[in-house]
């Protein structure tokens, strides 16, 4: 088990990507603090911290569930005080907590000027601001120990127009935070980066499958069946934790699929995912027969992709 004795924290791990990341880390023997507001299963939403903890332990990891509202600074501070008291160090922070799922669902079809202020507050407060507070807590320990990794779970919504204006602002801000924090931390041998999963088969996405597949995000038809499982991002992070040249990735934004290609891992169901930069994947959206003739290794450089969609002149 490659992460035995590693102390990790995954925020927002009751369900979705956070749960999947915790399971992948547990499979490698890590000690994983998992946070969220839902400690016990309820009728309000699927999953809970205690259920995730049981699954992590069954995989061979050590789960430590901590009920925490990441919208309250004092609770985040107490969380890091606990980790420091229990272990004196932290090797990995995954900033994944996000309050905006319900808000986004209610506001996607509403112009920004007609949305309630919660459309902004839910996404930015627990989805950007709380990640800054958590990164401060982790960085204080990591700088002292001269080692560590902070992963901010972002998305292509930072670059393309997905969902709502606050969603795009939040993800773009998170990527910029990763860049600037990563540059400051590099001299201390600490890495900070943004990770973009693709479409992920979370409980919320699967439940909304029918309505999502009737729409187009950024002009692309959505097919939930081709989405990543919730554990794929976790496998990407396990790869990062075992990367001997990890510091070279600090301050960067990286996709899970690109890491799958680099590190040679596949999804838990045996599928291989292609990066959004992959020409083959792009062509397949409209011309599957032609895509079959294109090698998967041909990718559009990041700079070209940004230039094609960016709003700066």
67/129 Cα distance (integer angstroms): 19
Residue with structure tokens 């990790």? 8
Asked whether 295 and 280 are in contact (CB, 8 A), the reply is: yes
Q: Is 167 a catalytic residue?
A: yes
Give SS3 for 41: coil
Beta sheet of 148-153, edge-to-edge order? 62-67, 31-36, 7-10, 92-95, 148-153, 190-196, 253-255
Q: What share of the chain is helix, strand, coil (3-state, %, to 5)?
A: 50, 15, 35
Task: Say which of 167, 232, 263, 313 is annotated catalytic.
Answer: 167
Asked whether 204 and 224 are in contact (CB, 8 A), the reply is: no
Q: Which residues are catalytic?
A: 167
């Amino acid at each position: 088990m490659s992460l035995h004795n590693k102390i990790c924290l995954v925020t927002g791990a009751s369900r979705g990507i956070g749960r999947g990341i915790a399971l992948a880390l547990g499979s490698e023997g890590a000690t994983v603090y998992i946070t969220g507001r839902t400690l016990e299963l309820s009728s309000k939403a699927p999953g809970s911290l205690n259920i995730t903890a049981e699954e992590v332990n069954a995989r061979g990891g050590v789960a430590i569930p901590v009920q925490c509202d990441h919208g309250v600074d004092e609770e985040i501070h107490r969380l890091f005080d606990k980790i420091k008291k229990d272990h004196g160090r932290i090797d990995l922070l995954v900033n994944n907590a996000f309050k905006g799922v319900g808000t986004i669902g209610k506001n996607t079809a509403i112009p920004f000027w007609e949305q309630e202020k919660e459309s902004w507050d839910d996404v930015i407060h627990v989805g950007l601001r709380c990640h800054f507070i958590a990164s401060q807590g982790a960085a204080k320990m990591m700088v002292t120990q001269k080692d560590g990794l902070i992963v901010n779970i972002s998305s292509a919504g930072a670059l393309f127009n997905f969902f709502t204006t606050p969603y795009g602002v939040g993800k773009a801000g998170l990527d910029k935070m990763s860049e600037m924090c990563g540059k400051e931390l590099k001299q201390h041998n600490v890495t900070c980066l943004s990770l973009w999963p693709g479409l992920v088969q979370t409980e919320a996405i699967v439940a909304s499958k029918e309505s999502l597949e009737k729409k187009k995000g950024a002009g692309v038809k959505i097919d939930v069946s081709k989405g990543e499982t919730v554990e794929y991002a976790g496998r990407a992070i396990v790869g990062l934790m075992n990367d001997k040249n990890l510091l070279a990735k600090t301050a960067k934004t990286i996709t899970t699929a690109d890491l799958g290609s680099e590190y040679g891992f596949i999804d838990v169901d045996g599928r291989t995912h292609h990066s959004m930069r992959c020409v083959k994947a792009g062509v397949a959206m409209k011309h599957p027969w032609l895509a079959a003739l294109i090698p998967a290794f041909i990718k559009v450089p990041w700079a070209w992709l940004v230039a094609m969609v960016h709003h700066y002149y």
